[in-house]
Amino acid sequence: MKETIINVKGMVCGGCENRIKNALGYIKGIEKVEANYKTGEVKILTSENVERKAMEDVIEDIGFEVVEEN
């Protein structure tokens, strides 16, 4: 399993967390998604080689902003 952490701007509630979890759940190879609106982090566990860009694109397609790590 590989863990990817993506920082997301725009999550303000549990509903936002669920939207991200549901959207990412459609990508083949993603096993688990944990989203936390308080920290702005989305942790994704994948069993296959899933490109980070594909995950970021899904998050942005549903209206959130992916922010680069500093």
Q: Which residues contact 69 (CB under 8 A, 6 or more apart)?
A: 7
Q: In angstroms, how far is the first alpha carbon of the chain from the final one?
A: 25
Residue 12: pLDDT above 50? yes
Query: Helix H segments across 1-70?
Result: 14-24, 52-61
Report the alpha-carbon distance of residue 70 to residue 68 in Å, rounded.
6
Q: Among residues 8, 4, 22, which one has the least CA distance to residue 66?
A: 8
- Binned at pLDDT 50, 70 and 90, residue 69 comes out as low
| Residue-range domains of the chain with CATH | 2-67 (3.30.70.100)
Taking the model in full, what pTM does it have? 0.91
Residue 70 has pLDDT above 70, yes or no: no
Residue 19, both tokens: 């939207």
